[in-house]
């Protein structure tokens, strides 16, 4: 680690040579219409920018000769060769004619702007225009991307997974917003519905398929979702949106959002956003299975002890409500120096699926504050994230305790009161996280360098409810530091090489080194890329220090000693190595575009779902009876998280886009995913039944997925139709099961039978196995007013998309938007 940091400091100490020149101008259509959000950059390298609302742009470059390129989806590329002298200011306008090019600029692949065709990663993109022209939840647009397993775990909880191994508690896909990790401190789960950003403030969303840990660190493992919000200078004005709707069950839905952005002068600009959303979750009540000990039937007869009966969830509240808002203040004292202060907060109430049933999320609050400074070749940031909830609880566990109290002779009022939370059903959170990052980037001839360092301090606090802390002041601190370097070199003739690496040192799971290598061949029609990259999935604080349901589930940061004297090792990181070959380019100039990738991954030391390891005597060096709150009941029986085995996964994704006109395009995508495992390796026998099979390696992903759609965006009318087919697949996640019948096989001690009770949940059969269709249409009355409508699950089919959640039905929404002109007090 010492040598890695020394090397990084040497890189950061290199000084850029040469003075720079400035190019300014405007990008318009042949009819003179401004093109806000168009891309202007060099054709030779990876330097670029976006146009402002009036089509203007500013680009700074070292002295030299360049070919500048302007692009906008639906228009042909315009290029111009220029020669710049040190200190020169040049004006260069671009006029784009109708034509086609998909050469968008992305930032997630290399942490710097680059054309998507030249990125060393497989990236799916969703841009602001698509988001604003879609009247539904913008997360639904993720379903249209290839290589993504998209599912709705309820009205308020659309979610996704990439390349297998999904679960009801999946922390393997990292979520980033404006350079911030948008994940919960203790569980590591993505914010998802808890996020603070509204759809009107999203500039673009970039989804990386596969590991990208060299730049983003642990848990950019299966994939990454990067949300980039709008700069108030480039997107000024006021936008007000009213978004009523109705579900397929006939329940009302309503959302109202506002965004205001303004440049005060040539140095100061700001924006504020806000949202209120309310609705009712799809109509569904889950079954909770309970051992009735000493209970009586309806006629007062004693029931046999140990009979598991299914009961409805206690006091289920299907109301959902979200409040969220953000602010940003930008200060640019000079062309070479800028500062940003951002903050946001959300308050959320909804139902959330977990491994042991549903959680009733009650007033879960997220807040953040971010300070960022940037210069010509560097940026630095620090940000603080806080998580708070006082009354979130496990519906499953509270329901079980309610019936236990009734069986013990307690009254109805007592059984529903505070004692119903006594076994650990209540989840409180007062956690916080501190992050800091510094990055340096520069170009030295044909060499491009990005290097940086990151620090993170998690301070988890469950107020003694689900972690091994004891009270409000007993934080669990976990720190980590990482450094990375990302280098690309252009050899000429279209050949480019990539070498990147990251070194992390974590307080609990120690040192990890993650490399990435790549070779790209770039030509006029597209780019081939061959990459090798590693990634890690890190145990969360819950995995390491969990304390749920009276200590039945304990975190595994220190390992366990079993009653027979054998030991369980402390949980370590899961590692993945991926080889990937991809191509993105044109098959028919300005008409047909292809994006395809094939990958082969080797995953080792899986992070297991929670599993019973047996009767324990010690957690680390501490006797179990001193750790397990309900030791008198469990007698040291512990469920925890472990590492095990190796599995190889492989697949490919194909996407075709055809532009009939600049306004109308059609697309189709297909994804294939499969795996192999050594059935003779006992390390792969997770459930220790003597046989290695699919019940040990819980892939939890369909083998085949297909999506297709049409999209139109004209001067007045816009709209889209989209359909997807998902193959049926078996799904297992701790207590949850969704599987076809497997004669002679059991899961958690119960035969696997479709449409029958499993051990702790009901098996309704496989997930997927459906085709569903979405549609949207809209009309722009003027530049200021538009009206659109969207139908998710157009035919209101009942779809089994996830466990511990309602079968999803339709959601039909209108969206009335007022776009007021900006108050431009400064150029």
Share of the chain above pLDDT 90, in %: 69
Cα–Cα distance measured from residue 99 to residue 590, given in angstroms and rounded to the nearest whole number = 6
Do 605 and 525 share a structural domain?
A: yes
Residue 466 in any domain: the answer is yes
Q: Which of 67, 99, 131 is the last residue of a domain?
A: 99
Other Cβ atoms closer than 10 A to 31: 6
**Same domain? 19 vs 149:** no
pLDDT at 300: 58
Q: For residue 796, give the 3-state DSSP assignment.
A: coil
CATH number at residue 233: 2.40.170.20
pLDDT of residue 825: 43
Residue 15: pLDDT over 50 = no
Cβ contacts of 30 within 8 Å, gap of 6 or more: 95, 96, 97, 98
Instruction: Please write the tens of the pLDDT for every residue from 746-791.
Output: 998 899 999 999 988 999 999 999 999 999 999 999 889 999 999 9
Return d(Cα 549, Cα 456) in angstroms, integer: 29
Query: What pLDDT, on a 0 to 100 scale, did the predictor assign at position 293?
Result: 60
- Across 614-640, b (16+ Cβ under 10 Å) vs e yields eebebbeeeebeebbeebeebebbbbb
Strands annotated E in 113-249 = 114-115, 122-127, 148-152, 158-162, 173-177, 180-181, 202-209, 223-229, 237-247
Distance in angstroms (rounded) separating the CA atoms of residues 676 and 429:
40
Nearest one of 273, 457, 432, 430 to 368, comparing CA atoms: 432
Examine the domain organization and report whether 253 and 321 are in the same domain: yes
**Whole domain around residue 10: which residue ranges?**
2-99
Tally the C-alpha atoms within 13 A of residue 684's C-alpha that lie toward its C-beta: 18
- Residue 312: inside a domain: yes
Does residue 217 fall inside a structural domain? yes
Note the pLDDT of residue 106: 79
CB of 207 closer than 8 Å to CB of 233: no
| 582-621: pLDDT as tens digits | 999 989 887 899 999 999 999 999 888 888 899 999 999 9
Tokens of residue 285, six digits: 């009540």
| Count of beta carbons in the 10 Å neighbourhood of residue 288 | 25
pLDDT higher than 50, residue 46: no
pLDDT at 501: 95
Residue at a domain's end among 99, 125, 147: 99
Is residue 64 scored above 90 in pLDDT?
A: no
Tokens representing 202 are 């999203």
Both tokens assigned to 204: 């673009």
For residues 546 and 554, is the Cβ–Cβ distance under 8 A?
Answer: yes
Q: How confident is the model at residue 17 (pLDDT cuts 50, 70, 90)?
A: very low
- Check whether residue 618 and residue 704 sit in a common domain: yes
CATH number at residue 79: 2.60.40.1120
For residue range 670-720, what is the model confidence (pLDDT) as tens digits? Answer: 999 999 999 999 999 988 889 999 999 889 999 999 999 999 998 899 999
On whether both 86 and 139 belong to a single domain, the answer is: no
C-alpha span between 731 and 567 (Å, rounded) = 30
Residue 266: φ, ψ to 5° = -75, -5
Same domain, 58 and 169: no
In a domain, 617, yes or no: yes
pLDDT at 14 over 60: no
518 shares its domain with 596: yes
Integer Cα distance of 182 and 408 in angstroms: 44
pLDDT band at 296 (very low <50, low <70, confident <90, very high): low
Q: Are 330 and 231 in contact (CB under 8 A)?
A: yes
Q: Are 101 and 584 in contact (CB under 8 A)?
A: no
pLDDT at 294 over 90: no
Q: Which of 68, 99, 130 is the last residue of a domain?
A: 99
Helix (H) or strand (E) segment spanning residue 3? helix 2-12
Q: Are residues 121 and 61 in the same domain?
A: no
Q: What is the pLDDT of residue 133?
A: 94
Q: Which of 70-74, 353-357, 611-615 has the lowest mean pLDDT?
A: 70-74
> Cα dihedral sign for 459, 462, 467, 472?
positive
- On whether both 83 and 161 belong to a single domain, the answer is no
Whether residue 514 lies inside any domain: the answer is: yes
Highest mean pLDDT among 115-124, 184-193, 381-390, 516-525: 381-390
Same structural domain, 130 and 84: no
pLDDT of 11: 39
Residue 610: the pLDDT is 82
Asked whether residue 422 falls in the same domain as residue 281, the answer is yes
Residues of the chain with pLDDT > 70, as a percent, come to 93
Residue-wise pLDDT tens digits, 542-560 = 999 999 888 999 999 999 9
If we measure between CA atoms, which residue out of 572, 769, 668, 699 comes closest to residue 162? 699
pLDDT-derived band at 10 (thresholds 50, 70, 90) equals very low
- Give 14's DSSP letter: P
Q: How are beta strands 20-29 and 89-91 bridged, if at all?
A: parallel
Residue with tokens 């990067």: 226
Q: What is the model's pLDDT at position 107? A: 78
Average pLDDT, integer, range 408-426: 93
Extract the tokens encoding 803: 């466990």
Q: Is the pLDDT of residue 72 over 80?
A: no
* 290 part of a folded domain: yes
In a domain, 746, yes or no: no
Dihedrals phi, psi of 193, to nearest 5 degrees: -65, -15
3-state secondary structure of 288: strand
Q: What's the whole-number mean pLDDT along residues 184-202? A: 95
Number of independent structural domains in the chain: 2
Q: Let me know if residue 215 belongs to a domain.
A: yes
Mean of the per-residue pLDDT values of the chain: 89
| pLDDT tens-digit series, residues 260-283 | 999 998 899 999 999 999 999 999
Do 183 and 332 lie in one domain? The reply is yes
The more confidently predicted of residues 335 and 457 is: 457
Q: Which pLDDT belongs to residue 783?
A: 80
User: What is the per-residue pLDDT for 67?
Assistant: 85
Predicted confidence at residue 301, as pLDDT, reads 60
Residue 99 CA, chain-centre distance (Å), reads 33
Distance CA 477, CA 209 (A): 31
Q: In this model, does residue 305 exceed pLDDT 90?
A: no
- What tens digit of pLDDT does each residue of 800-817 get? 999 999 999 999 999 999
pLDDT exceeds 70 at position 243: yes
Instruction: Single out the residue of 173, 152, 175 nearest to residue 162, CA to CA.
Output: 173
Residue in 502, 451, 516 with CA at minimum distance from that of residue 119: 516
Q: Are 440 and 378 in contact (CB under 8 A)?
A: yes
């Amino acid at each position: 680690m010492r040598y890695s940091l020394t090397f990084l400091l040497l890189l950061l100490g290199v000084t850029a040579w040469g003075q720079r020149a400035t190019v300014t101008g405007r990008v318009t259509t042949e009819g003179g219409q401004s093109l806000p959000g168009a891309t202007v950059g060099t054709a030779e390298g990876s330097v670029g920018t976006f146009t402002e609302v009036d089509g203007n742009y500013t680009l700074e470059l070292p002295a030299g000769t360049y070919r500048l390129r302007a692009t906008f989806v639906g228009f042909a590329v315009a290029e111009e060769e220029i020669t710049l002298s040190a200190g020169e200011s040049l004006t260069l306008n671009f006029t784009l004619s109708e034509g086609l090019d998909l050469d968008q600029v992305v930032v997630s692949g290399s942490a710097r702007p680059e054309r998507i065709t030249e990125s060393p990663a497989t990236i799916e993109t969703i841009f602001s225009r698509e988001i604003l022209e879609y009247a539904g939840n913008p997360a639904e647009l993720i379903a249209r991307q290839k290589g993504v397993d998209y599912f709705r775990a309820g009205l308020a909880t659309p979610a996704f997974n990439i390349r297998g191994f999904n679960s009801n508690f999946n922390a393997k896909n990292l979520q980033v917003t404006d350079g911030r990790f948008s994940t919960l401190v203790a569980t590591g789960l993505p914010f998802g519905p808890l996020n603070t950003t509204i759809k009107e403030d999203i500039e673009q969303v970039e989804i990386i398929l596969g590991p990208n840990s060299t730049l983003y660190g642990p848990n950019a493992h299966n994939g990454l979702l990067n949300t980039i919000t709008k700069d108030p200078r480039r997107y000024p004005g006021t936008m007000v949106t009213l978004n009523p709707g109705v579900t397929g069950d006939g329940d009302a839905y309503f959302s109202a959002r506002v965004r205001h952005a303004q440049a005060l002068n040539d140095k100061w600009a700001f924006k504020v956003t806000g949202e209120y959303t309310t609705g009712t979750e799809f109509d569904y009540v889950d079954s909770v299975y309970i051992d009735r000990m000493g209970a009586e039937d309806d006629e007062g007869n004693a029931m046999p002890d140990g009979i598991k009966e299914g009961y409805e969830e206690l006091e289920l509240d299907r109301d959902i409500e979200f409040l969220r808002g953000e602010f940003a203040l930008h200060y640019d004292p000079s062309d070479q120096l800028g500062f940003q202060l951002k903050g946001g907060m959300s308050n959320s109430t909804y139902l959330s699926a977990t491994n042991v049933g549903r959680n009733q999320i009650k007033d879960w609050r997220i807040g953040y504050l971010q300070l960022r400074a940037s210069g010509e070749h560097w940026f630095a940031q620090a940000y603080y994230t806080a998580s708070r909830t006082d009354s979130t609880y496990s519906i499953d566990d509270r329901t079980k305790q309610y019936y236990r109290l009734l069986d013990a002779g307690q009254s109805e009022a007592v059984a529903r009161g505070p004692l119903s939370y006594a076994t650990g059903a209540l989840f409180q959170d007062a956690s916080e996280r501190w992050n800091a990052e510094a990055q340096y980037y520069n170009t030295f001839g044909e060499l491009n360098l990005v290097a940086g360092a990151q620090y993170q301090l998690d301070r988890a606090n469950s107020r003694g409810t689900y972690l091994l802390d004891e009270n409000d002041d007993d934080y669990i601190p976990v720190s980590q530091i990482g450094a990375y370097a990302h280098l690309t070199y252009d050899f000429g003739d279209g050949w480019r090489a990539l070498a990147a690496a990251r070194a992390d040192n974590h307080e609990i799971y120690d040192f990890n080194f993650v490399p990435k290598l790549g070779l790209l061949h770039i030509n006029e029609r597209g780019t081939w890329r061959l990459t090798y990259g590693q990634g890690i999935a890190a145990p969360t604080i819950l995995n390491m220090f969990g304390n749920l349901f009276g200590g039945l589930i304990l975190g595994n940061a220190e390992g366990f000693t079993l009653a027979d004297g054998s030991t369980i090792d402390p949980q370590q990181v899961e590692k993945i190595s991926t080889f990937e070959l991809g191509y993105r380019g044109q098959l028919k100039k300005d008409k047909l575009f292809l994006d395809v990738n094939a990958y082969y991954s080797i995953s080792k030391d899986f992070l297991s779902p929670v599993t019973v390891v047996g009767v324990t005597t010690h957690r680390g060096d501490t006797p179990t009876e001193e750790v397990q709150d309900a030791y008198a009941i469990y007698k040291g029986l512990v469920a925890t998280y472990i590492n095990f085995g190796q599995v190889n996964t492989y697949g490919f994704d194909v996407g075709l886009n055809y532009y009939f006109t600049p306004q109308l395009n059609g697309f189709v995508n297909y994804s294939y995913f499969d795996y192999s495992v050594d059935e003779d390796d006992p390390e792969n026998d997770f459930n220790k039944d003597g046989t290695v099979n699919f019940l040990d390696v819980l892939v939890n992903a369909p083998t085949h997925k297909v999506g297709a759609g049409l999209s139109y965006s004209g001067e007045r009318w816009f709209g889209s139709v989209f359909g997807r087919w998902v193959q049926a697949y078996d799904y297992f996640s701790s207590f949850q099961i969704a599987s076809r019948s497997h004669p002679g096989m059991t899961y958690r001690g119960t035969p696997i039978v479709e449409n029958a009770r499993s051990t702790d949940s009901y098996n309704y059969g496989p997930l997927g196995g459906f085709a569903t269709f979405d549609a949207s249409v809209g009309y722009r009355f003027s530049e200021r007013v538009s009206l659109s409508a969207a139908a998710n699950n157009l035919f209101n089919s009942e779809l089994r998309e996830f466990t511990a959640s309602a079968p999803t039905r339709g959601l039909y929404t209108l969206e009335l938007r007022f776009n007021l002109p900006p108050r431009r007090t400064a150029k």
